[in-house]
Structure 1
Amino acid sequence: MTSLPLDDALFDAMETSILPTEEAESLPPLCYTDAAFYEFEKQAIFAKEWLCVGRESWAAGPGDYFTSFIADEPLIVARGRDGVLRAMSSVCQHRAMLVAEGSGKARAFVCPYHHWTYALDGSLAAAPAMERSCKFHREDFNLPVFALEIWEGFVFVNFDKDAAPLAPRLAKVSEVLRGYDLSNATGDKPAGEQRYPWNWKVMFENNNDGYHASKLHQGPLHDFIPSELAEFPDDLPGDTAGYYRTNRTLHPDAAFNATQRAVLPVFPGLSADERHRMVFANVPPTLSLVMTVDSVIYLILRADGPESHRVDQGVLTAPRAKADPAYEQKMAMGFLAASEIIDQDLHVDEMVQIGLRSRFAPRGRYSWQEGAQRLFNTWLVPRYRKAWSERNKAEGCAGESL
């Protein structure tokens, strides 16, 4: 696909996407399709923001590790013998071979190409046959280590070591999620990733969108959570790192299955009022949560191109859920219902991406039921504008020095 030029007019035009919902319009279509914009976005967003890569439980003990890949960066998250969880590049500092794949338990990471060996903290422990290389010092070739933070049991990584801490900027979101006690919620590591041929924002927006629920998902698996009962917060701080929406349900303890009611243990910290709604929480650009009273579906979105991304999708439940002898059967019942709904969403996402490539693709207007889209835009647009301004300033300074 031919890349389009990025200019001041494009970023100025984004201001209409953060107007009040009744006045706002969607982002310019090229933000979802253009290769140059994706390259810009990698620096504006993915190089500076906290990126979810998994759950802390995936590397619970010393030597446990898992790998990830986001915005062209292969990563390892490993628990050292000192008990500290670290995130580092998976790229061998010799010839760029990846030193780890998948997940498991290791005493060290040995590059299969030339057997350079890295300790669990990323330090280079061995480099065979390098004794004749001039001025070679092992300490100069450690794996790059990145900032890491745990929020609600999820592992976040930031390539910018000077980034502001994540948790304080998610205080409002954490307050809404308190009853779920996500740090102690349990769930198996997803068996594998999915890769989808559409922009990461298309999927993120669909996960945020309550407007389509009573239309696209009309039927017995979804009718208990009507779009007209969607609610959007108006008190999120300006520096928030995430946002949420809630949706009242027609009866308490509603859940996505054929019975329309929770079949697994309800999260014990939920109040009576909280048991009469669902929560949709988002920490862009990577984590989206769909929260019912007895389970939490999480999606970890990992952009890998202008029109593609990968997703790790899992389910969390209250810690005592697995004690139920019928746990597997009840989970299967929920999975059957969720799969039908998810398949509808995936088809829409694919068709939206096709539409966004069209020369007739609009900058659409929002319904009040799409308030979460504006919340997403108010997170994105200032970051885009800031990065564009910084780039222009840097290019101007470079021109002045010539």
Structure 2
Amino acid sequence: MTSPSFDDALFDAMESSIRPTEQAESLPPLCYTDAAFYAFEKEAIFAREWLCVGRESWAAAPGDYFTSFIADEPILVARGRDGVLRAMSSVCQHRAMLVAEGSGTTRAFVCPYHHWTYALDGALASAPAMERSCDFRKEDFGLPRFALEIWEGFVFINFDRDAAPLAPRLAGISDILRGYDLAHAEGDRPGQEQRYPWNWKVMFENNNDGYHASKLHQGPLHDFIPSELAEFPDDLPADTAGYYRTNRTLHPDASFNATQRAVLPVFPALSAEERHRMVFANIPPTLSLVMTADSVIYLILRADGPESHRVDQGVLTAPGAAADPAFRQKMAMGMLAAGEIIEQDLHVDALVQVGLRSRHAPRGRYSWQEGAQRLFNTWLVPRYRSAWRRVATGAG
């Protein structure tokens, strides 16, 4: 896993990225562009951390399933006949064909190549014409299983079956999001995924960057949430699995649309104080949340290369919101405004990636309004360092 493009000095230099915000600087540019660093990152981060792959509602009934793909790993999530949701590799254990694509409902997974058949729990049920193969036992060739956990209605998987549970390390995030009752929020499964030609961290940083909001997004669709009203927590535990910022709004029930106010039902459990702010929460390396009084935009980021990633973007609303006869029109109104803001972000993200390839790419200093970037770094850097120590000592 070692590479001539990075060494002990690189990881020592990351110390400056986790200092207090007023002293900190951004990560080294090669962390966003270098193929060898991405290969390292797949083991340091993606092989060990909890990864969001979807919503529990995407596989609500026995036989329902959906697939995903993160850091070169094809993932299959299925609900068994016993009602249990399970996650496993979708790679057939015969010749590596994928046994499932997309989503749907099925009684079993049949590999289209040679018709090996797997039960909903991943056990190999049938392997045609294998009776002459020496010492072949079906029970030895089930689909590899992953750890699975549900948090706030989101499905997380971990390639490390012995990973520490996720929810206890998200207690601080759950507290700040409690009024949204995300486990019961409703929303259709996202449509076509998007693929973007920049590093996943560029997207993650932008999604929780309060500094740019009043500059890049200046205008009637965003002026009600000024950057100077951003606040960053200072009480998250050291082992937290996520981070957030809150941002006060100029009026209650603010939302991203031409009226600047909620047009869908407000989440009923929100307090008066909570209705006067927005929350931006990140659960790295895959889930990003933008929370207004009447809707939650979520992005599931799926790295697939050193300078590319895929995104599943969806919207959640309060239970029963879709019963409004004008729901579709009101959603379209919000999505029109959000789409304009998102397009501005995407343009910037693409050009940031271009800049990061330059020999003049900086390790920039942070504004106080970029406190979330420092929180992201404090999640990343210890994991990078720990993985590098394992590489340097040959510990795996």
TM-score scaled by structure 1? 0.97
Matched position secondary structure for 1:150: strand
Moved over 6 A (4+): none
* Contact kept in structure 2, 1:52 and 1:286, CA below 8 Å: yes
Mapped pair 1:281 → 2:263:
no
Aligned residue pairs total: 394
Where does residue 358 of structure 1 map in the other structure?
Answer: 358
Mapped pair 1:128 → 2:133:
no
> Counterparts of 1:198 and 1:307 in 2: how far apart (Å)?
4
Structure 1 position 231, deviation (Å): 0.3
Mapped pair 1:313 → 2:313:
yes
Matched position secondary structure for 2:320: helix
Matched position secondary structure for 1:52: strand
Matched position secondary structure for 1:246: strand
> Counterparts of 2:208 and 2:13 in 1: how far apart (Å)?
23
How big is the alpha-carbon RMSD for the aligned residues of Structure 1 and Structure 2? 0.8
Where does residue 303 of structure 1 map in the other structure?
Answer: 303
Q: Deviations over 1:206-265 (max 9, x none)?
A: 001000000000000000000000000000000000011000000000000000000000
- TM alignment of 1:358-377, pairs within 5 A: 358-377=358-377
1:315 partner letter: V
Where does residue 264 of structure 1 map in the other structure?
Answer: 264
Where does residue 91 of structure 1 map in the other structure?
Answer: 91
Q: Deviations over 1:308-356 (max 9, x none)?
A: 0000000000012111110000000000000000000000000000000
Matched position secondary structure for 1:267: coil
Where does residue 35 of structure 1 map in the other structure?
Answer: 35
Where does residue 161 of structure 1 map in the other structure?
Answer: 161
Structure 1 position 88, deviation (Å): 0.3
Matched position secondary structure for 2:304: strand
Matched position secondary structure for 1:319: coil
Structure 1 position 275, deviation (Å): 0.2
> Counterparts of 1:15 and 1:42 in 2: how far apart (Å)?
21
1:182 partner letter: L
1:306 partner letter: P
Matched position secondary structure for 2:99: coil
Where does residue 8 of structure 1 map in the other structure?
Answer: 8
Structure 1 position 4, deviation (Å): 5.3
Structure 1 position 195, deviation (Å): 0.4
* Contact kept in structure 2, 1:14 and 1:381, CA below 8 Å: yes
Identity of counterpart residues, as a percentage? 85
TM-score scaled by structure 2? 0.99
> Counterparts of 2:117 and 2:43 in 1: how far apart (Å)?
30
- TM alignment of 1:63-74, pairs within 5 A: 63-74=63-74
Matched position secondary structure for 1:369: helix
* Contact kept in structure 2, 1:4 and 1:34, CA below 8 Å: no
- TM alignment of 1:226-237, pairs within 5 A: 226-237=226-237
> Counterparts of 1:45 and 1:309 in 2: how far apart (Å)?
15
Matched position secondary structure for 1:164: coil
> Counterparts of 2:12 and 2:161 in 1: how far apart (Å)?
30
Q: Deviations over 1:174-198 (max 9, x none)?
A: 0000000000000000011100000
Where does residue 137 of structure 2 map in the other structure?
Answer: 137
Task: Pick which of 3-12 and 203-212 moved more.
Answer: 3-12
Where does residue 179 of structure 1 map in the other structure?
Answer: 179
> Counterparts of 2:34 and 2:282 in 1: how far apart (Å)?
24
1:268 partner letter: P
> Counterparts of 1:163 and 1:93 in 2: how far apart (Å)?
24
> Counterparts of 1:204 and 1:361 in 2: how far apart (Å)?
19
- TM alignment of 1:200-219, pairs within 5 A: 200-219=200-219
